[in-house]
């Protein structure tokens, strides 16, 4: 593996219609935000202006959407997994009661007698499972999470602390996805997966729609700061759900002329989207998925996410693990003396890619995102220290709660 690799998506559609609205839309994002805003724990997550990083990268601005405080579970996944559980249970309760049911009514606990017979299940590298477990706990149903052998004990404990049952499986993430689907079929459970497959698309699309709330918040926050939309957006890969959601929303909301350049970033050993971009069709990772970026250790893309990224993403890039760890340390111990930002190992892929491009570690004339002194870069810090022990091992210090709160104020 060469570590840093960059490829331009020659098949990207830059004008005309995009194949997005079939799955997710700006209208759907506003509906999702309206539902979430009724929940007492909803707060927009901070958008940080990282001036020191911008100077280091030689760009005008670097904005960092800090998802570590999201709904108290430490990652953006609550916008998808918990939201999908809420919609599923609301529909179940509505059929039972013969009337509409809101997410807020579910959260009140008044309908637990109606929802307690439902069991939701999914596979997870940690964060999605935690979000689904949190949704089950808040909205009132049972939950089973399948974890492959590479998921840390710390992340398993965070899931079981929410009342879910954790089931360990052999193999990698994709093996655990298949195990969860098989168990659901045998037991009559409801799969709440963030990846799709033929015949299973509606719930992953809902999860992606939930993720678009981040894009809505970003545009509102930039407007409040009197800042223009970004010129470049770096997005984590994984199965592609997060990246596809953000790409789709920005493309529709801003239009072709104002849409930013999108760079999709993956670990070098979990490069299914990069390989799909090279082939022009769905491909599995060529790596062994052995990466410190646990949330991105996915070997197969989500087909509906890929359909969006194939048309809407501009570049695909891979990074080595040590680059992500270096970015974690840079945020935790800023060189300019600014407040520390606590970021988990999957949160810094975009920052690591930006710094590599800025330093010339990966530059090819035929694949150049054209970053310059006028660029306004948006990064998504998708998780905080969701495994505190691993964070301490990688960064060399604890994820200090007071520092994290100060940084997100």
61-66 and 47-49 as β-strands: parallel, antiparallel, unpaired?
antiparallel
Q: Is 65 a catalytic residue?
A: no
How crowded is residue 15: how many other Cβ atoms within 10 Å of its Cβ? 8
Residue 321, C-beta contacts closer than 8 angstroms, at least 6 positions apart: 267, 268, 269, 291, 292, 293
Q: Determine the Cα angle at 73 with ends 385 and 337, to 5°.
A: 40
CA–CA separation, 395 vs 373, rounded Å?
Answer: 30
Q: Give the active site residue among 65, 77, 314, 321.
A: 77
CA–CA separation, 248 vs 250, rounded Å?
Answer: 6
CA–CA separation, 148 vs 152, rounded Å?
Answer: 9
CA–CA separation, 133 vs 123, rounded Å?
Answer: 11
CA–CA separation, 407 vs 61, rounded Å?
Answer: 17
Q: Give the active site residue among 125, 174, 271, 387.
A: 125
CA–CA separation, 299 vs 272, rounded Å?
Answer: 6
Q: Which sign, positive or negative, has the C-alpha torsion 196, 115, 164, 40?
A: positive
Catalytically active residues, by annotation = 77, 125
């Amino acid at each position: 593996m060469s570590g840093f690799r960059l490829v331009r998506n020659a098949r990207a559609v830059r004008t005309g219609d995009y194949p997005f609205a079939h799955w997710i839309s700006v209208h759907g994002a506003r509906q999702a935000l309206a539902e979430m805003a009724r929940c007492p724990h909803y707060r927009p997550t901070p958008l940080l202006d990282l001036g020191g990083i911008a100077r280091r990268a030689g760009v005008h601005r670097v904005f960092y959407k800090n998802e570590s405080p999201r709904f108290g579970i430490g990652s953006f996944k609550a916008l998808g997994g918990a939201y999908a559980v809420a919609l599923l249970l609301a529909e179940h309760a509505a059929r039972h009661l013969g009337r509409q049911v809101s997410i807020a009514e579910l959260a009140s606990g008044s309908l637990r007698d109606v929802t307690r017979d439902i069991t939701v299940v999914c596979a997870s590298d940690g964060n999605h499972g935690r979000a689904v477990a949190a949704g089950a706990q808040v909205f009132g149903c049972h939950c089973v999470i399948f974890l492959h052998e590479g998921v840390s004990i710390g992340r398993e404990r965070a899931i079981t602390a929410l009342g879910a049952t954790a089931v360990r499986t052999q193999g990698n993430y994709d093996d655990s996805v298949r195990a969860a689907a098989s168990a659901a079929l045998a037991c009559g459970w409801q799969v709440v997966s963030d990846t799709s497959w033929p015949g299973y698309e509606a719930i992953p699309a809902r999860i992606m729609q939930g993720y678009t709330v981040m894009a809505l918040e970003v545009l509102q926050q930039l407007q409040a700061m009197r800042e223009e939309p970004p010129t470049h957006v770096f997005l984590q890969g994984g199965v592609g759900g997060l990246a596809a959601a953000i790409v789709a929303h920005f493309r529709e909301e801003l239009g072709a002329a104002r849409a930013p350049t999108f760079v999709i970033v993956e670990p070098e050993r979990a490069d299914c989207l990069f390989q799909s971009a090279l082939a022009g069709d769905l491909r599995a990772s060529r790596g062994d998925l052995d990466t410190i970026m646990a949330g991105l250790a996915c070997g197969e893309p989500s087909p509906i996410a890929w359909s969006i990224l194939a048309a809407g993403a501009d570049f695909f890039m891979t990074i080595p693990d040590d680059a992500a760890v270096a970015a974690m340390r840079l945020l935790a111990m800023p060189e300019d003396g600014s407040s520390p930002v606590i970021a988990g190992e999957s949160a810094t892929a975009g920052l690591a890619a930006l710094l590599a491009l800025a330093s010339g570690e990966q530059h090819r004339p035929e694949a150049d995102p054209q970053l310059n002194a006028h660029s306004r870069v948006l990064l998504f810090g998708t998780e905080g220290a969701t495994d505190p022990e691993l964070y301490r091992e990688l960064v060399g210090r604890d994820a200090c709660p007071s520092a994290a709160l100060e940084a997100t104020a």
